[in-house]
Amino acid sequence: MTELIPRPRDVVADSGEVRLTAHSRLYAGSATEGVGHWLRTVLREATGLPLREGREPDDTDGDGIGLRLGPGLGPEEYRLVSDRSGVLIEGGSAAGVFWGAQTLRQLLGPDAYRRAPVNRGRTWAVPHVTIEDSPRFPWRGLMLDVARHFMPKEGVLRYLDLMAAHKLNVFHFHLTDDQGWRVRIERYPRLTEVGSWRTRTKFGHRASPLWEEKPHGGFYTQDDIREIVAYAAERHITVVPEIDVPGHSQAAIAAYPELGNTDVITASVTGGTALSVWDSWGISPNVLAPTDNTLRFYEGVFEEVLGLFPSEFIHVGGDECLKDQWRVSPAAQARIKELGLADEDALQSWFIGHFAKWLSARGRRLIGWDEILEGGIAEGAAVSSWRGYGGGIAAARAGHDVVMCPEQHVYLDHRQADGADEPVPIGYVRTLEDVYRFEPVPPGLDVSAARRILGTQANIWTEVMEDQARVDYQAFPRLAAFAEVAWSALPAPADRDFADFGRRMSAHYRRLDALGVAYRPPSGPLPWQRRPGVPGRPLDGPPPNR
């Protein structure tokens, strides 16, 4: 009962338990019907119990479950009471009820996460307890990069379930990059016909001599995207798409060469004269040309994206845009002069600012990586602070909303230990405890600036994650620690009780087992999780901005 993750705000235990039986009913009040459908479905699968529909809140005979809205509760706040009357979950909204239902699932034990009963004769019981809980941040995110290595739709739906189980509520969907374009745009079919696949793939870090000599690719149809967005919404998760501009765009330029700086464009790494989708890692020098044609093209892209994703925020990337081509391109230099801009940084700011205004006119908001601060940030834009805390601090103090996701703390592609068996070691060592001690709100912000921190996000970049099992390994168990940081009101990092978290994780590993998650065991990687001989990019010493 005390082995819950994330840790609830208040737990008061009592003696006794509510036993679910073949006679138990589940009542879902007004506005909670969707939660009721979800809960009935997953519990029927796991328990084999019918959980027939209740007609009134008290139609449970002391052995059922009731769901309803509760007056006075915050939007994502919930109250779970298990007593002689049965189990009642109240929330300030359907989202709050849903998070309470996730807690109920944990209380039922690890087997409640299975797709079919493993022991039909067992007793399913919820201990008598009162839990009152609410999240610290409204933005509790996970970014998944499907551009470097494509994850099929079923894998994405699975990750939405894993997010929901950990009370994460924003799915940042990184859909385009130099190595692949993953969403079908009907008016520009070559983006997926050409841009969604590459002829081969670097295996390991970009300095690795190893290659996987076979095509890699894939994309989501628009109906796939609609399904993903609807599936997420049923789990009270918002999907924020990312369409990267003006850098990280080689796949788009390979499909439509006129988008590139055609007067200076760099040939593909294969030595050919035509640019191809990039097959290696790093930062491509091939960036979008700052032309009206490029603006109109991406307005067309974003028009279709807005029709697929109802989210308030649309992510435009804006990171790691190498400006070497702009510096030597006569056309780009002429554009800088025409616009009266100071330099190439200001040109990128103009490019991003155009789409900030374009999105604002359509009732949406632009969010980008912290490089969008360079050259001046557009009014109303929000910042994903990834290069440490600095960009987020500057943005918050300037009155912009911020999502804290510093590389040094919550990039889950970074290695989890410094042992020789760690598969494809990337970056700094970020242990489970390191992630648990991450603090999203940096010290020194005044109250007004601190309020600009919308929340936090863990990022999974997939250059060295060739399949779902590798993503699982890098994400878990650290994503469980991150989820607690994002949800729970924890003490200062040095005062956090990691021993207690570790005790609760011992139960949580069994939940992950039931969910089929290929996590990194506490003792280190299993033999098949290793990648002997595949070079990574380990960095030594403590990470900066720690």
For residue 374, indicate whether it is catalytic.
no
Contact 61, 100 (CB under 8 A): no
Q: Where are the beta strands (DSSP E) in 48-147?
A: 52-53, 65-69, 78-83, 86-91, 124-133, 139-145
- What the block records as the tokens of 17 is 């338990």
Give the span between the Cα atoms of 218 and 251, in whole angstroms.
13
DSSP one-letter string for 254-285: HH-GGGB-TTTPPPPTTS-SS-----S-S--S
Which amino acid is residue 143, in one-letter code? M
Q: Is 213 a catalytic residue?
A: no
Residue 4 to residue 15: CA distance in whole angstroms: 18
Q: Which residue has tokens 């009134």? A: 56
In sequence order, the β-bridge partners of residue 403 are 384, 455
From 248, 315, 414, 508, the catalytic residue: 248
DSSP 357-402: HHHHTTT-EEEEEGGGGTT-PPTT-EEEE-SSSHHHHHHHHTT--E
Q: Where are the beta strands (DSSP E) in 22-85?
A: 25-28, 52-53, 65-69, 78-83
Token pair recorded at residue 106: 């944990």
Residues 270 and 468: their CA atoms lie apart, in Å, by 29
Helix (H, G, I), strand (E, B) or coil at 190: helix
d(CA 250, CA 344): 19
The structure tokens 């840790």 sit at 7
Instruction: Confirm if 296 and 261 have CB atoms less than 8 A apart.
Output: no
Cα separation, 349 vs 333, whole angstroms = 15
Query: DSSP characters for 479-514?
Result: HHHHHHHHHS----GGG--HHHHHHHHHHHHHHHHH
List the catalytic residue out of 320, 324, 421, 466. Answer: 320
From the candidates 177, 244, 344, 472, which is the catalytic residue? 177
Q: How far apart are CA 212 and CA 463, in angstroms?
A: 13
Cβ neighbours for 446, distance < 8 A, ≥ 6 positions apart: none
422 labelled catalytic = no
Q: What residues act catalytically?
A: 177, 248, 320
